[in-house]
Structure 1
Amino acid sequence: MITPLIVLTVSAFSIPLLENSTYSQTETKCTLTVKEERLLDNTVLTMSTDRKNNYDVKIYHLSDLQAPSRGQLTQYSIDNVDQHQEISYAVDHNLFKRIDDKTAIYTATIANDNLSPQLFTKAFKAHSYRTKLHIEGLAPFAFIASQRQADAFFRCAEQQQIATLAKR
């Protein structure tokens, strides 16, 4: 009786983490998509990079934050908040897609100043593919990527960077 209960418990806690993130790659772009830990399909973080080493970080959510507008996002470590400095970024809030009269998807995009999206991505990697985010006007979010998916994304990003340097 105890063994099936342990297996069921372990399975219940490990399956959501395995399905929490996806990695995709095209000839020109690498993308990691991570579902929010609690809200799952309602809030998603995407990080991408292309051959020109341009990084893009977006959070898709269902809350209208007076789009279009500019706000602030703060990134924290999930584990040792005291040991890791919080990092703040400017974000642009926009309407992404209207589903119907009552439902719309919005984005919070880290302002692309050629540094912030790359800094965010590096901090995400340094925090073991885990991060806590707070966007002004919303409750904090927690994103935890599957190590296998995140490793594939960062390998792809490094290969994109190497290919770009080789062409120069």
Structure 2
Amino acid sequence: MITPLLFLTVSAFSTPLLENSVYIQNNSACTLRIKEERYQDKIVLALSSNYHSDFDIKIYHFNDLSAPSRGKLTQEPIFNKTKADIKYLVDHNLFKRIDSNNVIYSTTIANDNVSPRLFIDTFRSHGNRSRIYIEGLEQPLSFVADHKQAQAFYNCTDSYTKKADVLAKKTTPLSVFNKN
């Protein structure tokens, strides 16, 4: 009796998490899409990187937030409250008009290629999970990625970063190394 109950409990809590995130890779980019825990199909966080090591963080949602506008986003750990919160500048924009009543908006972390990378590194250090506060929304958003999918995304971004470093070394002029 205990074994089936334990299996049912573990299955009930682990199955939704597996469906909570999707890892996608093509020849030039890798993306990890994570559904918000409570709103599932209404709010999605997308972490992405390309072969140029450009990072991008977008949250897709149905909240206008005076788009287009600029605001603030705070990222914090879900469990370990001893880690510091990190604040980012974000841009709110119209992403897509579905019909006259439904519009999808995007909130994008300012793409200075430092902030998106910091967000990804922080998400990784928080155990592939973060609580997000977006200025203008009453409720915080919680995103938890499946470990295997998140690891595949990190491996992809790490390989792009290594390729970019090798390319940068190859294109460095030899005169820099000559001390004559």
Q: So what's the TM-score if we normalise by structure 2?
A: 0.89
Matches of 1:7 and 1:62 in 2, distance apart?
37
What is aligned with 1:31?
Answer: 31
Alpha-carbon RMSD: 1.1
What is aligned with 1:103?
Answer: 102
Which stretches in structure 1 are left out of the alignment for 5+ residues? none
Matches of 2:152 and 2:124 in 1, distance apart?
12
What is aligned with 2:178?
Answer: none
2:52 aligned counterpart, secondary structure: coil
What is aligned with 1:8?
Answer: 8
Which stretches in structure 2 are left out of the alignment for 5+ residues? 169-180
What is aligned with 2:40?
Answer: 40
Which structure: larger Rg? Answer: 2
1:8 aligned counterpart, secondary structure: helix
Matches of 1:159 and 1:27 in 2, distance apart?
13
What is aligned with 1:118?
Answer: 117
2:20 pairs with 1:20: yes
Matches of 2:25 and 2:67 in 1, distance apart?
30
How many equivalent residue pairs?
167
Matches of 1:55 and 1:30 in 2, distance apart?
10
Matches of 1:64 and 1:141 in 2, distance apart?
16
1:1-168 to structure 2, matched below 5 A, reads 1-81=1-81, 83-138=82-137, 139-168=139-168
Q: So what's the TM-score if we normalise by structure 1?
A: 0.95
1:59 aligned counterpart, secondary structure: strand
What's the CA shift for 1:52? 1.4
What's the CA shift for 1:2? 4.4
Greater than 6 Å deviation, 4+ residue runs: none
